[in-house]
Amino acid sequence: MSASAVFILDVKGKPLISRNYKGDVAMSEIEHFMPLLMQREEEGALAPLLSRGRVHFLWIKHSNLYLVATTLKNANASLVYAFLYKTVEVFSEYFKELEEESIRDNFVIIYELLDELMDFGFPQTTDSKILQEYITQQGNKLETGKSRVPPTVTNAVSWRSEGIKYKKNEVFIDVIESVNLLVNANGSVLLSEIVGTIKLKVFLSGMPELRLGLNDRVLFELTGLSGGKNKSELEDVKFHQCVRLSRFDNDRTISFIPPDGDFELMSYRLSTQVKPLIWIESVIEKFHSRVEIMVKAKGQFKKQSVANGVEISVPVPSDADSPRFKTSVGSAKYMPEKNVVIWNIKSFP
Amino acid sequence: MPYLGSEDVVKELKKAMCNPHIQADRLRYRNVIQRVIRHMTQGLDMSSVFMEMVKASATVDIVQKKLVYLYMCTYAPLKPDLALLAINTLCKDCSDPNPMVRGLALRSMCSLRMPGVQEYIQQPILNGLRDKASYVRRVAVLGCAKMHNLQGDSEVVIWGPWVNELYSLLRGPGSNNCLKGRLEENSEAGRGAVVHPIKHQFAHHLLKTISKLDQWGQGEVLNFLLRYQPRSEEELFDILNLLDSFLKSSSPGVVMGATKLFLILAKNFPHVQKDVLVRVKGPLLAACSSESRELCFAALCHVRQILHSLPGHFSSHYKKFFCSYSEPHYIKLQKVEVLCELVNDENVQQVLEELRGYCTDVSADFAQAAIFAIGGIARTYTDQCVQILTELLGLRQEHITTAVVQTFRDLVWLCPQCTEAVCQALPGCEENIQDSEGKQALIWLLGVHGERIPNAPYVLEDFVENVKSETFSAVKMELLTALLRLFLSRPAECQDMLGRLLYYCIEEEKDMAVRDRGLFYYRLLLAGIDEVKQILGSPKSDPSLGLLEDQAERPVNSWASDFNTLVPVYGKARWATISKLQRTERHGPELPNPASFATSGPLIPEENKERIQELPDSGALTLVPNHQITAECFEKTWLSLKVAHQQVLPWQGAVHPDTLQMALQVVNIQTIAMSRPGAQPWKAYLSAQDDSGCLFLTELLLDREHVEMQVSVKQNEARTETLSSFISVLETVIGTIGDIK
């Protein structure tokens, strides 16, 4: 992939911190980044890839920051983006929130991290669990004796360090499914799919070998053997690096040595017909200087289930003023900065 | 950045760092160093405290060490003499008992990037490669790469033993994941010198261990394996089987890397390539709906790339490419392009429905892109699209109307069957068009198809009335032509205003081009109406053009090598301009290819020949016939001269060297050497001499996609006038030959 340098810029394009990995691109090139970005934006041709002369800028935006990688090579774009996102992820785990403030406050540790994340344009250790073992927030304490390299940095099992001990050995499994719906303006559902992830929280000692069996239906669907009633194909099944794919291919067992703590074991996608869980209907009446919007929400899920923390946002004109609300349940709030009215319902129905 | 009082800051820090009290207090000392780094981060020039910082590196505090080393790496190129002082400390740290410190020191030392540092770092790197801590070994491997980068290609000799060292490291029992991932960088840095075709054993070793690497390592190894040439078909398929699971990896980077490797390895097995593309469909689609917009964008670009070769590949998943409200512009535009390309009989209704929704988007750019996309689909599904476009005109929105009219203009040219519908839709549009492009399109339509539009003369009359306040000269020119055309079919209604317009253009217009056009038409009219008809009565449509464009289906191999690079992300056209820029910046001399002459070949068509033969007389340039130059002499002259002119010409399809050579012969340009037809990249070297003895040496370079020809001309005497006429001759020849295709 070969990134020559990585920059973090504030919203005005001023570099907050940078690391020059290869030295083949002048660091001053970054000064051209923001004008270029503005220019392309004006032309309506903004893309996450800009170029000036021989230099390519690949950038992502995270809250108010720009993360920019520069390169001279005809690099592998998706790998560079993936690395930048990984960087954001690592920083966020260190400082909770990655923003201008936290960068200024922690510039020492960011330099340390940038040093370990990449060398000579090649991503190195990017697992924040492992990084946290030898780059700590409490770096200010003068621990001269400690500072050993965890063997995991270069281990065969790169995602778990040896010698982890817990008094109580526990594993928690969460299955999180979210529904992706594409509805057109007339209200007909164009596309619906379920995106699911299985998340594990592991507190286990040593190097445990875990096996996870999925129940039969899913397994049948995976193998495509049986024709169940509402058989739907799991697509894009993806596993964490720790899962032995060969075992999965052979006998459909998911066996793995888990990383410590939270991680995402697998993700999948199901293309099925899903009814929108909450159906919104709206009637908009325009008067001389007034707009009346009536919003009706209808739950379309099983009676015994309850939806918590439902938030319905109603876009309103940007010059809206003195809103008045009447809600049968929950409360509505006008957010002028986003030009929406948010209707909060704690528990639905 | 200039800072107010920056010198004071530096002075103060310098003083603080020299203060023995502060030096004694670790925390305070470190604070001062942190301040130095902070100022450095802000862009302040802190190089004047280099000496003090070197002193500060002698510490047991590892964080302080890191900061100081970071400082050194930043300023070493500015203060190479002082940086040499630091090398001692660094060398000492390289034998520190703590592997962290060893690694850090080695890494910093290799990153110093100043001349002359190589001789100091050689030994530490070698030691590092044999270090017992894998962390240090990893740093050392990358150190090799940096070292190689530093010394350039000159001293490859010392490199030999190093490579062996690296290989043994890889095979050794202590070899570890990262090391493996990194070695390829080394070999890459040592390109030209070492391991060009990867050794059989080594490739297999990598294949065995790849699954244990992290996603970055996997990406690198997959990339590296591109250079491996399997010995047999059997081995090839073994490799493909082994790597099959990477097509479904959770990291999009690895998926793309694996896809590229498969496509390249299976370049002689088109069915395998197809199969691979079918298999990556799922992961690619998932990446297209990924949460990270940039990854999604990159994936969409690659989807488009695949669609160029396998149209309809994603047709059944067309709904995946419907835009959602909150997506950024660049993703929406890509999605619209993709939608355009995967339309088929089954989904056309839904896709058009969706695109129609976009046409009224708040963003004018996006709305116009959607309208042009409908125009693209209209080439195949004319009736439905024209109906939608006509309905859009009813909205009376300026940006929509202008885009629709432009689409109509392009459409009637390609699909004459829709002319009637378009002509019915046009009346009334003129009120909603303000921009130059839209006006030109409307005027063109009124001129060419005016006999079918009842009110055409009156609309044009309005334009004639307002011609004085018209700001765009292109619109005026279009108006002249259109009115003259309309005059041919409806003379009674147009005669008067044509007279007024011509009068205005000739007497009052200040733009020379418009005035000349007016005069030209005036004289043409004097020559008689039959002549005018003969000249302006050109065909009103050319359906074959559309067919030609549709046939642009490209073989997978034409883009496989660009897959998973920046090329598809930029788009071919933009990449061409960018790489052209880069090439002119570092244009090195290239040796001409071995010659493969061809003497007999099909003659170029008669009419073309005539056109070409007229050319040499057109400029001040006369090329000497039968000019002779040997290949050796050409090579020598070529290498000794600078490029006088470089430009890129459009090209279509494969080259027929014989035809090209014949054509060049006609204008007295000799072919010195030429690649075989179909070679990648295809090159030709040409030479010509004019009557004053000035030599023109030319290199033609056809890019991989066969879409453009890069022409570089060198001249032994700098004369710009003859150069430009020579280039125009060359341009015509290449243009003519390109047209034949």
Q: A183: which strand partners?
A: A189
The model's pLDDT over B145-199, given as tens digits with 9 standing for 90+, comes to 777 666 654 444 344 455 555 655 554 433 444 444 455 444 444 433 334 445 6
CA dist B502 and B522 (Å) reads 7
CA dist A27 and A4 (Å) reads 10
Q: What is the percent of chain A with per-residue pLDDT over 70, rounded to a whole number? A: 87
Sign of the CA dihedral running B658, B664, B669, B673: negative
Q: Which residues of B touch A240 (CB under 8 A)?
A: 250
Cα–Cα distances in Å, from A162 out to A257, B386, B496?
A: 12, 68, 95
- Given an 8 Å threshold on Cβ–Cβ distance, is B294 in contact with A239? no
pLDDT of residue B245: 82
Strands A307-315 and A291-299, by their bridges, are unpaired
Q: Which residues of B touch A62 (CB under 8 A)?
A: none
Q: Which of A25-34, A199-208, A211-220, A293-302 shows the lowest mean pLDDT across its residues?
A: A211-220
Question: Coil, strand, or helix at residue B314?
Answer: coil
Q: Cβ of B292 under 8 Å from any chain A Cβ?
A: yes
> What's the gap in Å between the CA of B200 and the closest CA on chain A?
24
Which residues of B, range 402-441, sit inside 8 Å of A by Cβ? none
pTM listed for this prediction? 0.71
CA dist B117 and A35 (Å) reads 37
Q: How many CB atoms lie within 10 A of CB B492?
A: 8
Backbone φ and ψ of B417, nearest 5°:
-65, -15
- Residue B149: enclosing H or E segment and its boundaries? helix B134-151
Task: Give me the mean pLDDT over the A157-169 stretch.
Answer: 80
CA dist B585 and B482 (Å) reads 45
- Given an 8 Å threshold on Cβ–Cβ distance, is A122 in contact with B185? yes
Both structure tokens of A1: 């992939």
pLDDT of residue B520: 92
pLDDT of residue A139: 42
Of B142, B252, B299, the CB nearest to A120: B142
Sign of the CA dihedral running A310, A314, A319, A320: negative
Cα–Cα distances in Å, from A170 out to A203, A208, B32, B711?
A: 5, 12, 46, 69
The number of CA neighbours under 13 Å toward the Cβ of A49 is 29
CATH number listed for the domain at residues B1-190: 1.25.10.10
Both structure tokens of B640: 């000794």
Q: B650: which strand partners?
A: B708
Q: Which residues of A touch B103 (CB under 8 A)?
A: 149
Can you say how many angstroms the Cα of residue B452 is from the centroid of all Cα atoms in its chain? 44
- Interface probe for A, chosen from B29, B33, B41, B327 (most Cβ of A below 10 Å), is B41
Whether residue A316 contacts residue A293, with contact meaning beta carbons closer than 8 Å, is answered with yes
Backbone φ and ψ of B659, nearest 5°:
-60, -45
pLDDT of residue B371: 93
pLDDT of residue A219: 55
String of b and e for B309-329 (b: at least 16 CB within 10 Å)?
bebebbbebbbbbbbeeeeeb
Backbone φ and ψ of A304, nearest 5°:
-75, -15
Residue A261 region, left (φ>0) first, then alpha (ψ -120 to 50), else beta?
A: left
Which residues of B, range 5-34, sit inside 8 Å of A by Cβ? 26-27, 34
Q: In what order do the strands lie in the sheet with A65-71?
A: A15-20, A5-9, A65-71, A55-62, A49-52
Ordered by start, the domain boundaries in chain B are 1-190, 198-268, 445-539, 631-739
Q: Which residues of A touch B249 (CB under 8 A)?
A: 238
Q: What does B439-508 look like in DSSP terms, one character per residue?
A: HHHHHHHHHHSGGG-TTHHHHHHHHHHTGGG---HHHHHHHHHHHHHHHHH-HHHHHHHHHHHHHHHHHT
Q: A240: nearest CA in chain B? A: B250
Tell me the average confidence (pLDDT) per consecutive run of 10 residues in chain B, 741 residues long: 62 80 80 84 79 80 83 82 80 83 85 77 80 77 73 47 56 42 47 47 73 77 79 85 82 86 87 86 83 87 86 83 84 90 87 89 88 89 89 88 91 86 85 87 89 87 87 90 89 88 89 91 89 80 63 72 83 78 54 36 39 42 71 77 77 71 77 72 79 79 72 78 79 69 44
What residue type is assigned to position B258 of the chain? A
pLDDT of residue B163: 56
Q: Which residues of B touch A125 (CB under 8 A)?
A: 178
Q: A60: which strand partners?
A: A67
- Given an 8 Å threshold on Cβ–Cβ distance, is B286 in contact with A269? yes
Q: Cβ of B174 under 8 Å from any chain A Cβ?
A: no
- Given an 8 Å threshold on Cβ–Cβ distance, is A48 in contact with B297? yes
Q: B66: nearest CA in chain A? A: A112
The model's pLDDT over B355-408, given as tens digits with 9 standing for 90+, comes to 988 888 888 888 999 999 999 888 888 888 999 999 888 888 888 999 999 999
- Given an 8 Å threshold on Cβ–Cβ distance, is A82 in contact with B253? yes
Which class for B443: exposed (0-12), middle (13-18), buried (19 or more C-beta within 10 A)?
Answer: buried
CA dist B78 and B110 (Å) reads 16
Which of these, B395, B381, B399, lies nearest to B425 by C-alpha position? B395
Of B134, B138, B322, the CB nearest to A182: B322
- CATH class of the region B631-739: alpha beta
- Given an 8 Å threshold on Cβ–Cβ distance, is B214 in contact with A111? no
pLDDT of residue A218: 54
CA dist B197 and B203 (Å) reads 10
Of A17, A74, A239, the CB nearest to B565: A74
- Domains assigned to chain A: 5-132 (3.30.450.60), 170-270 (2.60.40.1170), 278-348 (2.60.40.1170)
Q: Cβ of B113 under 8 Å from any chain A Cβ?
A: yes
Question: Coil, strand, or helix at residue B708?
Answer: strand
Whether residue B217 contacts residue B178, with contact meaning beta carbons closer than 8 Å, is answered with yes
Q: Cβ of B282 under 8 Å from any chain A Cβ?
A: yes
Of B245, B328, B581, the CB nearest to A245: B245
